[in-house]
Amino acid sequence: MYRTLCLMLSPALLALIVTPLPLLAQNTWKAGVAKINITPEKPMWMAGYAAREKPAEGKMTDLWAKALAFQDSTGKRAVLITLDLVGVERQLSLPLCEKLQKKYSLDRSQIALNCSHTHSGPVVARNLRPMHEYALERSQQELIHQYADTLEQKIITVVGDALAKLALAKLEWGNGKTDFAVNRRANKEPEVPKLREAGQLKGPNDHDLPVLVAKDAQGKPLAIVCGYACHATVLSGYDWSGDYPGFYQIEIEKAHPGTIAMFWAGCGADQNPIPRRQVELAEKYGKQLAAAVEDVVSKPLTPVTGRLTTTYQEIPLAFAQLPTRDDLLTQTKDTNKYIGMRAKMLLEEIDAGKPLSQTYPYPVQLWRLGNDISWFFLGGEVVVDFAIRTKAEQHGPKTWVAGYSNDIMAYIPSRRVLTEGGYEGGGAMVYYGQPTVWSEQVESQIMAEIDRQAGK
């Protein structure tokens, strides 16, 4: 009798019968998650600190590439890729994303790359080029490019694995807080413990902790994803490590067997974990982050309902006045070797027929997760002002702002930071190989594109 009844029912009604009731209460999402080890196999040079004098010597924790794929009820998909790396630049991310688009029938807006910015990972391709390409011996340069080739293949693999696992799922979100990030421009590092105790820390921060959870049809977490705005610079030694984001992921995966923990870096270019420089502190901050995430997921979360929309655009972000050839020739003799290396690099490009450009193709991306979350992905090392302003002008805690996304080409200062100057305001442009500082229009240009995409 039951079999006869089932044969008489339409496929849609049958789906209602066999689908778990909790899932029916939400719009139908699918999710799939995967990870792959990207720890270098050979002792190659590490990224993030110019003061390092030798390649890595060991491993504290593994480094990972992780992918979370999701699909809404219309079949629209997106893939978040998180990397335990200091950064990837355009010359790696552009061909990588083209291959992902072709292989998996995605468009560029459906792919988001985010780096944790750990300073205990390897040099990747041409990222921070003046620090590495002209300073290292040929054997190390070859290892760097070999690693980039291997990394590309592993990312393509892990994205395919996540997409292959797409299955009925429930997406939920929440927001928490944690406060170990300190504005490094406004507070002297030795004074931070005393200032923190007295409640006198200065400067803007973003201590919000957005959390996204993907659950399977039985309600078990497939992925727990969080974002935080703080440099991953606790450690500065010679062992591979994901720094505090790596320890956070270890803690979450230990507490939730079978779940993949993911971390995306927010607008923390001017934020440091202080105090630092001890393994115990990296573990402490990782556990603090994990505890804050656990506090969020232990409470009722908000289901993601509605559809997925994705947009992506590269805007011509303007530099200030460019140096002349004579300026660059003078810079080759600068006592700062990195200024000299940058000048040499730029002169070689000019002589090869590639003149300096007045603008840089800067990536701005937006994912709308259902009816609530607006998730912006900004390129470069973005200072906290952008997150604060974007949240104030958009939807507050329902607005998530990631930095270190898709292309990490330089620090991205607000107009305030640019005017104040200093490392984030312009000094770091040397290490990224950019010809000069950004124009005073940098903040207004980026915010105008954020508004344009949000308006869509």
Alpha-carbon torsion, ordered 8, 13, 18, 24, to 10 deg: -170
The conformational region for residue 433 under phi > 0 = left, psi -120 to 50 = alpha, else beta, is left
Distance CA 396, CA 143 (A): 44
pLDDT at 13 > cutoff 50: no
Angle at 124 between CA 213 and CA 210, to 5 degrees: 20
Kindly state the average pLDDT of the residues 212-219: 96
> pLDDT tens-digit profile of 362-371?
999 999 999 9
Distance CA 188, CA 318 (A): 32
Residue 319's alpha-carbon distances to 252, 418, 428, 446, in angstroms, are: 42, 12, 14, 13
pLDDT at 209 > cutoff 50: yes
Asked, as a colleague might, if the bond just before 275 is cis with ω within 30 of 0, I would say yes
pLDDT at 10 > cutoff 60: no
Both tokens of residue 52? Answer: 């390092």
Q: What is the mean pLDDT of the chain?
A: 92
Residue with tokens 């993949």: 260
Distance CA 396, CA 374 (A): 10
> pLDDT tens-digit profile of 75-104?
999 999 999 999 999 999 999 999 999 999
**Closest-CA residue to 402 (of 227, 217, 216):** 227
> pLDDT tens-digit profile of 46-84?
998 888 889 999 999 999 999 999 999 999 999 999 999
**Closest-CA residue to 381 (of 271, 236, 246, 277):** 271
pLDDT at 373 > cutoff 60: yes
> pLDDT tens-digit profile of 305-356?
999 999 999 999 999 999 999 999 999 999 998 999 999 999 999 999 999 9
